[in-house]
Structure 1
Amino acid sequence: MRVLGTAAGGGFPQWNCACSNCRSVRDGDKALKPLLQSSLAVSANEKDWYLINAGPDVHKQIESFAALHPGPGIRETPLAGVILTDAELDHTIGLLSLREGSCLTIYGTETVRRCLQSAFPVFPMLKNYCSWEWQTLHPDFRQQAGTLGEGTIIVETIPVSSKPPLYAKSSKGGESPEDLWEAGLVLHNESSGKCLAYFPTLLSITPAIEACLEKADILMVDGTFWSEDELVKMGATERDARSMGHLPISGPSGIAEKLASYPAERKILIHINNSNPILKKDSIERDALEQYGFEIAYDGMEVEV
């Protein structure tokens, strides 16, 4: 199974904040480079590809990878579907840009489907442009993406959070803790017997999540913020990392400490916010992570599972 990824997180426009790590980019610092929104393209047969989330950069991401280019027929595309981990704008707004591609299958939880019918009405907006099939992801059993055979990817859905996107929060409250707004995915390659765990957001490590991280051969895990109060110190927001739904990388019970004991072949930090110092190649924070065997995701990163 071939996996192609892009690395950045959502939230703030790339390289448009006031922290010292980002300010140097405007001065031509080659140690820092703007990244596209976090996403994956996955294929088990090099012919049928599935996007894991579709953000505002989806056209740039497709153009950057020849295997995703359309053709040779009219409206022919190697994209077979999109698998959504949540309904956040930075993971779903790209669906509007994919309206020219008909016959795509969209996968997501039932909570995400309802949201894309109402709070962010992507499907009503697109109904006159294309016909897409919806497949609901259930945490109770594994599902296949694609038809049986060499192109099949087995998807395991893991509950992460019942926290809705800000735009979907009800002013009256009433959100149900049973609503599965955010999920992690374990992608299984039955041919190799290996699997990849993909968690672009992670607030806590539940027993179910821990079991996935322990068995996965490759981990791609939330690396949004280095520290708990990263954005608060910048004056960008009053909310800390955890209140925004992300465990910080550093500190007691942070992502790095928790992932250190897992036996995965590769541990890759993804969904990295532009305020995070690990984006700077010569930073102390990045050097410390790399010495402990962590990798920092980058645009065009490829892995085999």
Structure 2
Amino acid sequence: MRVLGTAAGGGFPQWNCTCPNCHDVRKGNKALRPLLQSSLAISANEKDWYLINAGPDVPKQIESFASLHPGPGIRETPLAGVILTDAELDHTIGLLSLREGSCLTIYGTEIVKKCMQSSFPVLPMLKNYCSWEWQPLSPDFRQRVGPLGEEAIIVETVPVSRKPPLYTQANKEDDSPEDYWEVGLVLHNESSGRCLAYFPTLERISPAIEACLQKADILMVDGTFWSEHELVEMGATGRSARSMGHLPISGQSGVAEKLALYPAERKIMIHINNSNPILRKGSMERDTLERLGFEIAYDGMEVEV
């Protein structure tokens, strides 16, 4: 299974952001470079590719990976579908950019499907441009992704959070307290027996999540914020990392402390916010992680599972 990835959570520099990282990118600091929104492209056969999440940078991401280029036929594309971990705008708005494809399979939980038919009606909009098919994701069963009769990827769905997107806050009448809005994925290579755990958001590490992280050969895990009060100290917001649904990397019971105990051969920080000092090459925070054996995701990163 081949995995192509992009790294950031914040896609910096943002035009209205005054954090040190964004400021230094604009000033041409070579220790920093703008990154695209966090996403993966996966394939079991090098022919049929699936995006995990589709953010606003989808056109750039497709253009940057030759394996995703369209053709040779008119409207022919190697992109077979999109797997969604939640309904957040930075993970779903790119579906509108994929409307020129002839057919698209979208995988997600039922609450995400419901949301994209109402609060953010992407699915009704797409039907006038291309055909699409919805395939459900559920913790109760593993989903096979790939053409029948060929090597496939097995997707294991893991509940992460009941926190809905902000844009749904005004329309909660259909919301159920049992609904998980955010999930993580364990991607199993049917042929090799190896697996990759992909958790772009983590508000806590539940026993179910811990079991997945313990068994995975490669971890790609939420590295959004370095510290609990990162944005508060910058004056950007009054909300802490955990209140926004993200465990910080540092500190007691932070992501780094937890992941250091797991046996995975590679541990990669993804979904990195523009404020996070690990984006700076040579920073104390980045050096600390690298000494502990962690990698910092970057645009164009490739892994084999």
TM-score over 0.5 for the alignment? yes
1:12–1:274 Cα contact (<8 Å) kept: yes
Partner of 2:218: 218
Aligned pairs (5 A) from 1:1-305: 1-10=1-10, 14=14, 16-170=16-170, 175-305=175-305
Amino acid at match of 2:115: C
Q: Give SS of 1:290's match.
A: helix
Residue correspondences, number:
305
Q: Give SS of 2:116's match.
A: helix
Amino acid at match of 2:251: G
Instruction: Normalising by structure 2, report the TM-score.
Output: 0.97
Shift of 1:27: 1.8
User: What is the rounded CA distance, in whole Å, between the counterparts of 1:232 and 1:67 in structure 2?
Assistant: 41
1:222-276 deviations in Å (ceiling 9; x for gaps) = 0000001111111111111111100000000100001000000000000000000
Q: Which runs of 5+ in 1 are unaligned?
A: none
Shift of 1:103: 1.6
Amino acid at match of 2:131: S
Shift of 1:23: 1.9
Amino acid at match of 1:105: T
Root-mean-square deviation (CA, aligned residues, Å) is 1.4
Amino acid at match of 1:86: D
Amino acid at match of 1:141: F
User: What is the rounded CA distance, in whole Å, between the counterparts of 2:288 and 2:36 in structure 1?
Assistant: 24
Q: Give SS of 1:264's match.
A: coil
- How much identity, in percent, do the aligned residues show? 83
1:15–1:23 Cα contact (<8 Å) kept: no
Shift of 1:104: 1.2
More off after superposition, 104-113 vs 137-146: 137-146
Amino acid at match of 2:275: S
Q: Give SS of 2:5's match.
A: strand
Q: Which runs of 5+ in 2 are unaligned?
A: none
Amino acid at match of 2:69: H
Shift of 1:25: 1.8
2:12–2:35 Cα contact (<8 Å) kept: no
Instruction: Normalising by structure 1, report the TM-score.
Output: 0.97
Q: Give SS of 1:176's match.
A: coil
Q: Give SS of 1:132's match.
A: strand
1:14–1:35 Cα contact (<8 Å) kept: no
